[in-house]
Each structure stands twice: as structure tokens, then as C-alpha cells.
């Protein structure tokens, strides 16, 4: 009996060891058999083809990028469940898309849902799968051949191959910025290709190329499936090595091959630019996948993948002669109104350059209220775009993609992502808490076609003229003019009531006291007095001239970007505003930091815009007049207003953290917590009283409901209905 137990135990241990080696370590037995290579995608010239009923037909990628974030969770938590994925896949396909793209290995729920959705589906969804490269490595001193970069990149690529074939088990943390679980469903028959890498950091590319320039073995590689041309750089050689070994791994282990691309974007595109563009946009590195060649052993082939947004190639406008870009002329890209379409020009450049299919694997615009970049010609900006305008911008981008000969593209992105940050607002918020509130000023959070609106079924208030959701519990101040306030994870809402309101011909003021550290009881701009120090004043002055303004000491832009915008250091003694300064300033967001246009001049150019200006309109999605950007609306004796938290210097409203005094020993933005603020309302003809507003926040317990944006239905008309 004892011997039997020992034998059984030994067998179990051997089986566990084999299981570990196979599913956790990726060990497999190569029998050296020459089996036919299976593939259902291939490239022919500049076209992508898919096998259908025994023959290959052209396949145009109509894709949507899919992230892993939901409100109250970080993307790295991979908290989306199987049921949600199944619902989303249905929405995506019903929009007319045929492909989803993911950036990294997801939790097993994702693959289980994808398998379940496709297995009995005569018209399945396809997938482009990516491999993420750790940001820390990209932004460190290490080069692309460092063990933490190259070895990890290659190993994670092989793990990704095992995952799509249903042959992996991953423990939490095994792959950085990736999911974990047991992957037992083979989804490879619907994976059309891999996009390896990320938006390459230009300094990493440049550093790698400079470090290994001219060193034997770093600018040439010849593999069984991929090899370099004589013009390849060390960084491109690294990509070739990874691509070749990934193809080899899938070929020898699974007898399959599929399309391969390497991620790229304008920052590291293959083009030479005039000095003014190089300097202004700090263009210092190039990655050219034309230097990566494929052998006849790799049957499907390679395509070029680019992330290109409509506002970023706007820098082409800084050059007068577009012949340097290989384009006919600048005027050839003007529309009937004389506006330059730099996006179409840039896509033309990409297609002219490449001898392989070009896929624009990211394109989109944000419906966030805040804005970070502007295309002054087409108006396809990074933010401050309504949902309807987002839809039209996507149509325009798609038309440009098609017209220039690209083989399709993927909309960025499927769902809004609360955790995201943007360069021009990240200084103003607590970056460790962004997943727990919806920051409408941070445009990066709102690229989605699917919105997560606050509230389990609907928001606590909508700016639409219907005041039925307001109750006496919301009343802060009564009298001749009444003020009510409520809030949720995205906005603070205000309701003003004044009998006989003459909205277009009278001005009302709502002072807000947010911080106990500073403020003024007098606003010299309008000659209005308050009974306590206020930090902000909402000025309601008709449809076209209403705004929120900040007391100059509590101006977040000045606290961080005074050198760029005002050309002085606000922290020098003579430049520090008084704590009780009566001056109130417009609230601005920076669009461009101060950069010299050329090495010959010391003159710098910076740019900001007034984000405190309020937009009039109806903000209820159920209204035919819906404008997602609308801030306020008047109806009869009532005015409804919604303000995003950040515009009032809340760094984390979930815990009611606000900006501390920038100048009282902080020299920048630090936080204090509050449990109340004060607000009041008046016409300015007498001192305005401010009353207490209790603030409790919501911690980590967020509420939200899904809503398909107007842009979703616009894209549905384009892709599914062909309109």
C-alpha cells in the first residue's frame, strides 16, 4: 500500500511538473515534422486578403480598439467580466465593425467571451492582438537591447501566442501590464495578426541607434522568416529579431502563421522633416519597417501599423513647400473653403512611402470638455468636441483613410476610460485616484464610443430645462433668488431660480468658496461684494458671455505654467498674488508649452485657451437637441448649470481633495481635504451671502451606467448601413 501511494504521488508530481512546464513555462516538444503551415490571412502588394471558401478575397479592417478599464478600476486590474465583454462584442459588431484590437494580454474572461461569441457565429469578429512594452523600460536609460527590454519583449510575445492558442496559464504579475488566468480556449482562427510593441519613445529609439551605430551585428540580421535591409538601424534590427523569433515560435509549435506588424506613430515615423518641424516638435528618431524584409517561409506577410490622429499631423502646416514630403503641393490638400487637410496629406505620405498595406490602427477624437491639441483647419481637435462632432470627425478620418489607400483602421476607442491622464491637466489632479471620478477636463478619458455616465441608471441631474429632479433637499439658499446644488462622480450641478428671470438682459453671480486658505470678498472685475472670501465666481450673462472665473491666487494655470504663458516665474516674491487679491481671471488650459521656433531665436511660443467659458445648450442625451458639451441652459425662471470638478480645483472629488495654497510653502500644487464649501447667488447690487454646502465624496464606491454615444450611431450608419 505504501509503495502504491508513493507511485501515485510520484505520478501526480510528474504530471504537475509537466503541466507547469507546458502551460506556465511554454516548454514544448519539437518533433521536427514538416507539417503544412496553416494561415487564413495574407498580404499581396498593398492589400490584405482573407481566405473565404477556399479563395482569398480583399479584407478591409473596420476595427475598434478595446481597453480594459471600467469606472472604479484601473486598466491593470482587468476587471471587465465575461458578460460585459459579450455585450460589448455584440454592440461592436452591430456597429458594422469586423475587428477588435487589444494592446496586451487580457484576463481569461476576455478570451472566454471572445470564444463563446464567435464559436457558433457565421459572421465572427476578428482580432488584432498586441504586445505591450513596459513604460518604465522605455523611459529609463536602458536601450532596446537591454535584457529588461529585448528579452521581456520577446518572451511576452511568445506568451501572447500561447494565449491565443489556449495553451497558457499565467499567474498574477507574470507579464507586466497584462492579465492573468487559465487560457484554454483556442481563438487563433479569428486572430488575423499581431501588432508588436507600443508608440515607441523617441529617446529610446535614438539612444539605441546612437549607441550601436556602426557596431557589427546590430544593423544586420538574417532570420528564417525576417531579415534586415542594408539600411536598417539598430532599433529596426531589434524589431526584426523579435518578429522573426515570434513567427518561428508559432510556426514550429502550432504550425500556423498570421500577419505581423510593428507599432509606430508620427513621433518615430520614417520621414525627414524641415528644421522648423524638427525643432518645434522635437523630431529626433525614425523607425522604418520598409527596412524589415520577409522571406518566402513567412507566407502571410507584414503590414505597416500607425497610430495617427487628425490633429497631430497639423505640424505639416508649418512647412510652406510640401514637395519635401513627396507631395504634389500644399494646395492639393485644400478643400473648397481653402482649409488644409494635413491628416489626408500625412496618410498620403505613409502610403507613398510603404510597399506594404498601411493600417491606421488608432484614429479618433475625444468628447472631453478639455482640449489638448487643435487642428485649426479641419476642427478635428483633441477634445472639446461634442458627440455628434466626434461622429462626423470619425467619418472624415475614415474617408481620408480610404481615399489615401490605407487598408482600413481601428477607431480609438470603444469605451471611455476614467483612469486616463492628459499632459495639460495631470498637474491639477491626484493621479493615484483618477479611476474613481470622471474628469471631464481630461480629454484622454473620453475617446470612447461608449460612455460611462454617473448614476446606476441615470445621472442625478441633466442640464435640459426640466427641473423635476431637483428637491428641497438640494436647496442651499432661498429668498428672491434661489440656489440649489447637488453632485455626482462627474459634475457639480447648480439650479438657479428667479421669478421673472430676464436671462438675456440681466447678470447673476454665483461666488464659490472652495479653500479656506485664500480668496477675496470683493471681485473688482464686476464690482461685486461677498460676505466671505470667494475663490471662484460663476458669471451668468446670457447665452454667449457666461463663464466661471478664478481669484488670481487660486489660478491653477499660473501655478504651473506662468513661465510659458506669462514669461515670468510666479513664485518670485514680487510675482506672488496677494491672498485676498480682488482680481479674478479667466480659467485657461494650456495647449502648447513655450518652445523656440528655431535655434536662431530666443523667442518662444506658448498657447492656451479659455476653458472657463460656458457653453449654452441642452445636455440631456434623450433630447433631440442634445449637446454633450453644454454647460448651462435657461428655461423660464430657471437656469441649470453643470461644472466639471477640476475646473473648480478639485484634485479628487471622491475624497474631496482640493488644491492647497500654491504659494504658502508649496511652490506648486499640493492638496488639502475639505468637508464643506460655500456658495451664494446675487445680482451684484448688494453684498452676496454665501451659505454652507456639505461635501462627503464617495470614496471608491462609484456608480455608473453605460450609454452608447451619438458617435456610435453615426459610425453605425457609415459602416453597417453604408450611409
Work out the number of other CB atoms within 10 angstroms of the CB of residue 230: 7
Quick check: is 460 in a domain?
A: no
How far CA 224 is from CA of 244, 252, 293, 295, 354, in Å, comes to 7, 12, 11, 7, 23
What's the sign of the alpha-carbon dihedral 233, 238, 242, 245? Answer: positive
- Taking alpha carbons only, the member of 147, 148, 137, 262 closest to residue 203 is 137
What does pTM read for this prediction? Answer: 0.95
Quick check: is 98 in a domain?
A: yes
pLDDT tens-digit readout, 51-108: 999 999 999 999 999 999 999 999 999 999 999 999 999 999 999 999 999 999 999 9
| Predicted local confidence at residue 28, as pLDDT | 67
pLDDT tens-digit readout, 25-61: 777 667 666 789 999 999 999 999 999 999 999 999 9
The arithmetic mean of pLDDT across residues 182-201, rounded, is: 96
Mean pLDDT rounded to a whole number for the chain: 94
| Predicted local confidence at residue 366, as pLDDT | 98
pLDDT tens-digit readout, 221-269: 999 999 999 999 999 999 999 999 999 999 999 999 999 999 999 999 9
At a CB cut-off of 8 Å and minimum separation 6, what does 446 contact?
Answer: 366, 367, 368, 383, 416, 440
| Predicted local confidence at residue 18, as pLDDT | 63
Distance from C-alpha of 385 to C-alpha of 131, rounded to nearest angstrom: 31
Tell whether 387 and 512 lie within a shared domain: no
Work out the number of other CB atoms within 10 angstroms of the CB of residue 389: 21
Quick check: is 335 in a domain?
A: yes
Q: Model confidence at 597, in pLDDT bands (50, 70, 90)?
A: low
Quick check: is 633 in a domain?
A: yes
| Predicted local confidence at residue 584, as pLDDT | 98
| Predicted local confidence at residue 212, as pLDDT | 95
Distance from C-alpha of 93 to C-alpha of 626, rounded to nearest angstrom: 26
Is pLDDT above 60 for 549? yes
With 0-12 / 13-18 / 19 or more C-beta atoms within 10 angstroms meaning exposed / middle / buried, residue 293 is middle
Residue 285 DSSP symbol: -
Quick check: is 42 in a domain?
A: no
Tell whether 478 and 432 lie within a shared domain: no
What's the sign of the alpha-carbon dihedral 210, 214, 219, 221? Answer: negative
Tell whether 435 and 491 lie within a shared domain: no
At a CB cut-off of 8 Å and minimum separation 6, what does 15 contact?
Answer: none
57, 50 in Cβ contact below 8 A? yes
Tell whether 251 and 111 lie within a shared domain: yes
Residue 613: in which H helix or E strand, if any?
none
Position of cell 483613410? 401
Tell whether 284 and 183 lie within a shared domain: yes
Q: State the total domains in the chain.
A: 2
Quick check: is 7 in a domain?
A: no
357 grid coordinates: 498595406
Tell whether 516 and 576 lie within a shared domain: yes
422, 440 in Cβ contact below 8 A? no
Quick check: is 21 in a domain?
A: no
Is pLDDT above 70 for 623? yes
Position of cell 529626433? 284
| Predicted local confidence at residue 338, as pLDDT | 87
Quick check: is 712 in a domain?
A: yes
| Domain encompassing residue 304 | 57-448+707-719
| Predicted local confidence at residue 34, as pLDDT | 77
Distance from C-alpha of 369 to C-alpha of 347, rounded to nearest angstrom: 28
Is pLDDT above 60 for 599? no
- Taking alpha carbons only, the member of 162, 148, 291, 149 closest to residue 231 is 291
Reduced to 3 states, what is the DSSP secondary structure of residue 352? helix
Tell whether 207 and 265 lie within a shared domain: yes
Strands across the sheet containing 475-477: 475-477, 481-487, 491-498, 638-644, 632-635
Tell whether 408 and 528 lie within a shared domain: no
Q: Mean pLDDT check: name the lowest of 354-363, 373-382, 569-578, 712-721.
A: 373-382
Work out the number of other CB atoms within 10 angstroms of the CB of residue 347: 27
101, 64 in Cβ contact below 8 A? yes
Distance from C-alpha of 415 to C-alpha of 66, rounded to nearest angstrom: 7
Amino acid at each position: 500500500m505504501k509503495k502504491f501511494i508513493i507511485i501515485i504521488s510520484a505520478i501526480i508530481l510528474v504530471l504537475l511538473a509537466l503541466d507547469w512546464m507546458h502551460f506556465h513555462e511554454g516548454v514544448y516538444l519539437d518533433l521536427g515534422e514538416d507539417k503544412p503551415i496553416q494561415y487564413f490571412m495574407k498580404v499581396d502588394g498593398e492589400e490584405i486578403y482573407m481566405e473565404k471558401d477556399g479563395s482569398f478575397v480583399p479584407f478591409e479592417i473596420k476595427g475598434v480598439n478595446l481597453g480594459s478599464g471600467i469606472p472604479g478600476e484601473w486598466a491593470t486590474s482587468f476587471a471587465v467580466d465575461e458578460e460585459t465583454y459579450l455585450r460589448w462584442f455584440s454592440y461592436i459588431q452591430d456597429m458594422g465593425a469586423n475587428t477588435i484590437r487589444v494592446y496586451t494580454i487580457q484576463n481569461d474572461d476576455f478570451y472566454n467571451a471572445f470564444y463563446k461569441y464567435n464559436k457558433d457565429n457565421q459572421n465572427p469578429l476578428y482580432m488584432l492582438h498586441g504586445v505591450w512594452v513596459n513604460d518604465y523600460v522605455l523611459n529609463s536609460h536602458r536601450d532596446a537591447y537591454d535584457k529588461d527590454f529585448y528579452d521581456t519583449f520577446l518572451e511576452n510575445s511568445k506568451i501572447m501566442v500561447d494565449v491565443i492558442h489556449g495553451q497558457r496559464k499565467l499567474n498574477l504579475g507574470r507579464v507586466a501590464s497584462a492579465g492573468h488566468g487559465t487560457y484554454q480556449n483556442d481563438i487563433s482562427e479569428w486572430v488575423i495578426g499581431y501588432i508588436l510593441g507600443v508608440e515607441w519613445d523617441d529617446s529610446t529609439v535614438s539612444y539605441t541607434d546612437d549607441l550601436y551605430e556602426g557596431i557589427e551585428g546590430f544593423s544586420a540580421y538574417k532570420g528564417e522568416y525576417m531579415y534586415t535591409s542594408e539600411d536598417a538601424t539598430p532599433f529596426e534590427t531589434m524589431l526584426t529579431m523579435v518578429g522573426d523569433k515570434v513567427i518561428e515560435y508559432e510556426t514550429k509549435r502550432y504550425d500556423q502563421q498570421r500577419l505581423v506588424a510593428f507599432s509606430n506613430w508620427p513621433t518615430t515615423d520614417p520621414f525627414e522633416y524641415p528644421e522648423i518641424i524638427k525643432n518645434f516638435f522635437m523630431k529626433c528618431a525614425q523607425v522604418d519597417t520598409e527596412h524589415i524584409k520577409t522571406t518566402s517561409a513567412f507566407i502571410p506577410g507584414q503590414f505597416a501599423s500607425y497610430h495617427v490622429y487628425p490633429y497631430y499631423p497639423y505640424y505639416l502646416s508649418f512647412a510652406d513647400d510640401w514637395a519635401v514630403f513627396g507631395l504634389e503641393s500644399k494646395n492639393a490638400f485644400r478643400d473648397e473653403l481653402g482649409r488644409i487637410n494635413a491628416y489626408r496629406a500625412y496618410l498620403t505620405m505613409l502610403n507613398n512611402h510603404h510597399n506594404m498595406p498601411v493600417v491606421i490602427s488608432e484614429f479618433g477624437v475625444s468628447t472631453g470638455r478639455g482640449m489638448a491639441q487643435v487642428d485649426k483647419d479641419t476642427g478635428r481637435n483633441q477634445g472639446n468636441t461634442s458627440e455628434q462632432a466626434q461622429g462626423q470627425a470619425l467619418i472624415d478620418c475614415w474617408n481620408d483613410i480610404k481615399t489615401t489607400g490605407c487598408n482600413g483602421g481601428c477607431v480609438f476607442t470603444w469605451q471611455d476610460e476614467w483612469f486616463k491622464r492628459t499632459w495639460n491637466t495631470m498637474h491639477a489632479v491626484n493621479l493615484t485616484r483618477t479611476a474613481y471620478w470622471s474628469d471631464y477636463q481630461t480629454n484622454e478619458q473620453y475617446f470612447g464610443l461608449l460612455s460611462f455616465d454617473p448614476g446606476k441608471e441615470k445621472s442625478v441631474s441633466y442640464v435640459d430645462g426640466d427641473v423635476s429632479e431637483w428637491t428641497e433637499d438640494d436647496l442651499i439658499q432661498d429668498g428672491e433668488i434661489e440656489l440649489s446644488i447637488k453632485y455626482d462622480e462627474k459634475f457639480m450641478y447648480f439650479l438657479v431660480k428667479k421669478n421673472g428671470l430676464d436671462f438675456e438682459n440681466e447678470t447673476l453671480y454665483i461666488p464659490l468658496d472652495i479653500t479656506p486658505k485664500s480668496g477675496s470678498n470683493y471681485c473688482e472685475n464686476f464690482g461685486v461684494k461677498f460676505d466671505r472670501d470667494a475663490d471662484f465666481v460663476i458669471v451668468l450673462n446670457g447665452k454667449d458671455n457666461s463663464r466661471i472665473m478664478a481669484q488670481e491666487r487660486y489660478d491653477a494655470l499660473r501655478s504651473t505654467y506662468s513661465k510659458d504663458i506669462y514669461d515670468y516665474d510666479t513664485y518670485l516674491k514680487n510675482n506672488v498674488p496677494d491672498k485676498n487679491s480682488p482680481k479674478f481671471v479667466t480659467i485657461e488650459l494650456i495647449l502648447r508649452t513655450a518652445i523656440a521656433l528655431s535655434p536662431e531665436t530666443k523667442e518662444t511660443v506658448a498657447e492656451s485657451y479659455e476653458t472657463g467659458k460656458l457653453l449654452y445648450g441642452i445636455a440631456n442625451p434623450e433630447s433631440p437637441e442634445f449637446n454633450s458639451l453644454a454647460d448651462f441652459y435657461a428655461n423660464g425662471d430657471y437656469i441649470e448649470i453643470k461644472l466639471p470638478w477640476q475646473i473648480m480645483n478639485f484634485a479628487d472629488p471622491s475624497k474631496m481633495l482640493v488644491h492647497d495654497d500654491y504659494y504658502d510653502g508649496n511652490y506648486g500644487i499640493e492638496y488639502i481635504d475639505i468637508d464643506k464649501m460655500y456658495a451664494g447667488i446675487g445680482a451684484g447690487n448688494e453684498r452676496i451671502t454665501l451659505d454652507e454646502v456639505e461635501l462627503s465624496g464617495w470614496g471608491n464606491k462609484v456608480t455608473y451606467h453605460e450609454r452608447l454615444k451619438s458617435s456610435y450611431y453615426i459610425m453605425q450608419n457609415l459602416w453597417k448601413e453604408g450611409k
